[in-house]
Amino acid sequence: MKIYEKDFPYIKTKTAGVTKKFNLADPAERREYFSAKAGAEIKLIKKYLAANTLVAYFLGKKNSGKGTYSKLMKEIFGEDKFNHISVGDIVRDVHAAMADGPRKAEMLKFLEKNYRGYISIEEAIKALLSRDTKTLLPTEFILALIKMEISKTPKKSLFIDGFPRELDQVSYSLFLSSLIDYRSDLDIFVAISIPEAVLDERMKFRVVCPVCHTPRNLKLFATKEVGYDQEKKEFYLKCDNAECRGARMVAKEGDSLGIETIRNRLELDEKLIEKVFTLHGLPKILLRNSLPVTSAKELVDDYEITPEYVYELGADGRVKTSERSWTMKDDEGVDSYSLLAPPVALSLIKQLAGVIKK
């Protein structure tokens, strides 16, 4: 077990009296699932959010699900209550704005008023856009960009993803809430603990629709229709979106190499979580993506476990899909299951309610 995990026991999502097998891919059933398993906690958080806001910093490795959990929280508590601030998206937005005269002018005006630092705004933008590693992008500049993004929407609770990103940015995050005028609100760190095996398979089997860009996973998240390529002797997913007419989903170049290509980043992200969890005076939440196979029966329902899809070519030429619980080794080599996103979000709700109650 990692050092920071020891104060966070596995959350039991199996709930006495709740026997229905929910289809977690269906939004209506998902709503029913959350209210059956965490109705009281949701009520408590809603009451809190009616009068207050909170700032949550999401810490987790690439593809650990930060965006997905933010989306689920918006779904449960309302788009008007939560905003997802992704630093990666902000950087892409700066790229787009630089090619658009009026937007560029507006952005520069905001930065002139809000940025203070040792290099000029022009130099900072250049470093940001070229990902020039020689000019270190000042954290003060990232903070000004975050502030700009937040200023676009009326005061909502925030999920910030992508900050802190470097070890020396951790102390800045302690004061960010004051900087964005959220000073009396709750701030909280939410870290995601996820085995590397899960990240690796998510990357290796990831495919995307060339038409609508919907992501899926050949092994862990199949579509309804699956095809078979006679020539290459391989199965492939067909996009579920009717407008895409069964477009063949494709892998991104380099993904088949898996997580070894981002090893340095993974290690830094791990160090960030370790560092944050030694901080005093701030509430912390740990989301566990996996659990040992041996504890599964006691803690979770079968339909909460990520399945593995298996394909078979029938005599009629059609592909038959079946699923089974996917077993992998966690980082300590223990046979484990990976949880689907909704039960992990459920553990976020339960822990958040616990923090609010205090």
Which residues here bind Zn ion, judged by CB under 5 A? 209, 211-212, 239, 241, 244
**Terminal Cα distance for the chain, rounded:** 27
Closest of 198, 190, 239, 242 to residue 219, by C-alpha: 198
Burial 61-99 (b: 16+ CB within 10 A, else e): bebbbbbebbbbbbbbbeeebbbbbbbeebbebbeebee
> Which residues, 6 or more positions from 311, have their beta carbon under 8 angstroms from its beta carbon?
226, 228, 235, 319, 320, 321
**Between 200 and 240, CB nearer to Zn ion:** 240
| Least distance between Zn ion and beta carbon 221 (Å) | 14
- Smallest distance, Å, CB 227 to Zn ion? 14
Nearer to Zn ion (CB atom), residue 241 or residue 295: 241
Of 142 and 209, the one with the shorter C-beta distance to Zn ion is 209
From 203, 146, 209, select the one nearest 172 (Cα to Cα).
Answer: 146
Q: Which is nearer to Zn ion, 150 or 209 (CB)?
A: 209
Task: Say what angle helices 87-98 and 139-151 make with each other, to 10 degrees.
Answer: 80
What residue type is assigned to position 74 of the chain?
K
Residue 137 CB neighbours (<10 A): 20
Query: By C-beta, is 36 or 208 nearer to Zn ion?
Result: 208
CB of 96 to Zn ion, least distance (A): 23
Q: Which residue type is seen at 19?
A: T
Least gap, CB of 226 to Zn ion (angstroms)? 15
Quote the least distance from Cβ 208 to Zn ion, whole Å.
Answer: 9
CA distance 262 to 257: 10
Q: Which is nearer to Zn ion, 212 or 250 (CB)?
A: 212
Q: How far, in Å, CA of 41 to CA of 278, rounded? A: 27
CA–CA separation, 37 and 76 (whole Å): 13
Closer to Zn ion by Cβ: residue 9 or 215: 215
* Shortest spacing between CB 224 and Zn ion, in angstroms: 12
| Selection from 225, 246, 244 nearest residue 235 by Cα | 225
Shortest gap between Cβ of 244 and Zn ion (angstroms)? Answer: 3
- Name 109's Cβ contacts closer than 8 Å, sequence gap at least 6: none
| DSSP 8-state class, residue 318 | P
Residue 219 Cβ vs Zn ion, minimum distance, rounded to whole Å: 19
Least distance from Zn ion to the Cβ atom of residue 290, Å: 30
In the structure encoding, which two tokens stand for residue 126, read together?
């250049």
Q: Cβ closer to Zn ion: 247 or 353? A: 247
Please list, in sequence order, all residues whose beta carbon lies within 8 angstroms of the beta carbon of residue 341, skipping any fewer than 6 positions away.
24, 65, 68, 69, 72
- Identify which of residues 209 and 345 has a Cβ nearer to Zn ion in the complex: 209
CB of 247 to Zn ion, least distance (A): 5
Decide whether 157 or 223 has the Cβ nearer to Zn ion: 223
Residue at 14: amino acid letter: K
Supply the DSSP string of 127-150, one letter for each residue: HHHHT-SSSPPPHHHHHHHHHHHH
